[in-house]
């Protein structure tokens, strides 16, 4: 037997959430086949099979948070099996899944099968990309019930959406969706239960258990039983309605991991936030000149380059605090993270060695990383080793300010806000219309003071307000 364990998939990971299992007991797998999809604080990843064999047991449940080194599932190595044992186990697993549950006699209603009619039970490994699985989760679709139309039966995005659409359009039987009472007789050590039916779209079946004290099962006694049952059932439904009013969102996966990191940062780092205004009129004009020549460089690329120049002069904001050794490590490399808002939550891909790159290189790499982030295709190296973070919320409409949370163990973060045209009094005491952008800089007050932060943002503003100065920085 081989125990498949959660291993560190990058950057000192200590734990992860179990998004879903990609296999089930009885499945035949080959070495490197994906077995489990996990979610860290930065990315979604698949844990591969270390060997070929048959899945013996799944040890955890979806949504669990587990530490590195925890066993996830057990594989029976195929080298120790007979030629057809693997297939036999798949057949046995299929027999168990399709075996009907023990019948429960319901007066006036036939027993329901364990597997709903029209739902196919899939045997073998599910072929679907992580993004397709994500679409299934978002739409509440059990991907094991979807029939794939892609190559080799692979499930596509369209297959999942079509399945969800068909399910949502299925009419609900009014009598089953109502609160009509059905009497169920279940033999349990001589006792009897009276249970109401519940809507197919509702929650669990409820039962009110009666003692054997009364032998009147007809007439007045039976009516009293029904009355008590109906009253208890109505009270339960009312209580459930009160408790579950409103929508409930799952708190797991990337959202949960982001929360943990934010709490760690906020309660570890004494944050101080400095606000500044920057005139970006000259930068806008320069970008128009560049566009006229057939090229394009985003404003964020200019911001990142200006920050890198400033970090050379104020390296305390590109540093790590080592409290144990009572030291502050000033980092030479400028690995600048760019916060990207994705459907799965915030993620921060990293542009490495910005201090060695020109504006064009920064622009192209930022575009590529943003695209990978939005398609959930970032690799561990793309999100590791950041030393400073930027967040451009301007395109989202944030125009005044914010109090951003620093990425632990970094020492600073800058947030850029929406550019707006404002009347400004010039040095010649004239009123002019200028394009003004606010920025918010959060920094670790243990490693720097407010005066240093002001000097840093002043240097940044000087470069942005005179952007051609940055052209002197060929790297």
Calpha distance 63→141 (Å, rounded): 16
Q: Residue 318 gets which letter from DSSP?
A: S
- HEC-encoded secondary structure of 383-407: HCCCCEEEEECHHHCCCCCCCCCCC
Calpha distance 384→224 (Å, rounded): 68
Show Cβ contacts of residue 370 under 8 Å, excluding neighbours closer than 6 positions: 338, 340, 349
Cα Rg of the chain (Å, integer): 31
Calpha distance 328→296 (Å, rounded): 38
CA separation, residue 47 to residues 40, 86, 436 (Å): 12, 22, 48
* Closest residue by Cα to residue 448 from 261, 268, 319, 304: 319
Catalytic residue among 240, 271, 376, 445: 445
Catalytic residue among 8, 32, 322, 449: 449
Based on the residue annotation, tell me whether 225 is a catalytic residue of this protein.
no
Based on the residue annotation, tell me whether 449 is a catalytic residue of this protein.
yes
Q: Residue 411 gets which letter from DSSP?
A: S
* Closest residue by Cα to residue 374 from 410, 334, 345, 401: 345
Whether cis (ω within 30° of 0) applies to the bond prior to 256 is no
* Closest residue by Cα to residue 281 from 415, 426, 466, 472: 466
**Which residues form the catalytic set?**
445, 449
């Amino acid at each position: 037997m081989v125990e498949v364990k959660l291993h560190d998939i990058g950057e000192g990971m200590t734990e992860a959430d179990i998004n879903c299992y990609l296999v089930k007991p009885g499945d035949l797998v080959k070495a490197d086949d994906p077995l489990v999809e996990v979610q860290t604080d930065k990315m979604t990843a698949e844990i591969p099979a270390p060997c070929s064999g048959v899945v013996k047991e799944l040890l955890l449940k979806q949504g669990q948070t587990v530490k590195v080194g925890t066993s996830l599932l057990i594989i029976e190595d195929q080298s120790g099996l007979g030629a057809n044992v693997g297939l036999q186990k798949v057949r046995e697993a299929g027999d168990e899944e399709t075996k009907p549950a023990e019948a429960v006699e319901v007066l006036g209603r036939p027993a329901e099968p364990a597997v709903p009619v029209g739902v196919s039970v899939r045997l073998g490994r599910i072929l679907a990309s992580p993004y397709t699985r994500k679409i299934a989760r978002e739409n509440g679709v059990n991907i094991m019930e979807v029939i794939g139309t892609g190559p080799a039966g692979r499930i596509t995005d369209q297959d999942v959406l079509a399945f969800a659409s068909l399910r949502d359009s299925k009419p609900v039987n009014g009598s089953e969706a109502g609160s009509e009472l059905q009497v169920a007789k279940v033999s349990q050590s001589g006792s009897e239960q009276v249970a109401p039916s519940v809507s197919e779209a509702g929650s669990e079946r409820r039962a009110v258990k009666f003692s054997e004290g009364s032998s009147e099962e007809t007439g007045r006694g039976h009516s009293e039983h029904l009355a008590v049952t109906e009253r208890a059932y109505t009270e339960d439904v009312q209580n459930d309605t009160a408790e579950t009013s409103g929508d409930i969102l799952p708190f797991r996966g990337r959202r949960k991991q982001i929360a943990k990191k934010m709490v760690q940062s906020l309660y570890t780092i004494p944050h101080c936030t400095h606000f500044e205004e920057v005139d970006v009129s000259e930068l806008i004009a320069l970008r128009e000149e560049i566009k006229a020549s057939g090229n394009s460089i985003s404003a964020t690329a200019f911001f990142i380059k200006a920050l890198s120049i400033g970090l050379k002069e104020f390296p305390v904001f590109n540093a790590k605090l080592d409290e144990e050794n009572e030291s502050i490590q000033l980092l030479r490399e400028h690995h600048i993270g760019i916060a990207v808002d994705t459907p799965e939550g915030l993620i921060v891909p990293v542009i490495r060695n910005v201090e060695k790159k020109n504006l064009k290189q920064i622009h192209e790499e930022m575009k590529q990383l943003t695209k990978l982030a939005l398609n959930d295709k970032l690799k561990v190296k793309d999100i590791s080793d950041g030393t400073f973070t930027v967040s451009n919320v301007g395109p989202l409409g944030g125009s005044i300010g914010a109090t951003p949370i620093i990425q632990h163990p970094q020492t600073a973060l800058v947030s850029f806000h929406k550019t707006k045209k404002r009347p400004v009094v010039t040095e010649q005491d004239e009123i002019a219309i200028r394009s003004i952008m606010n920025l918010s800089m959060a920094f670790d007050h243990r490693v720097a003071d407010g005066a240093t932060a002001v000097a840093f943002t002043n240097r940044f503003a000087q470069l942005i307000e005179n952007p051609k100065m940055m052209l002197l920085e060929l790297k």
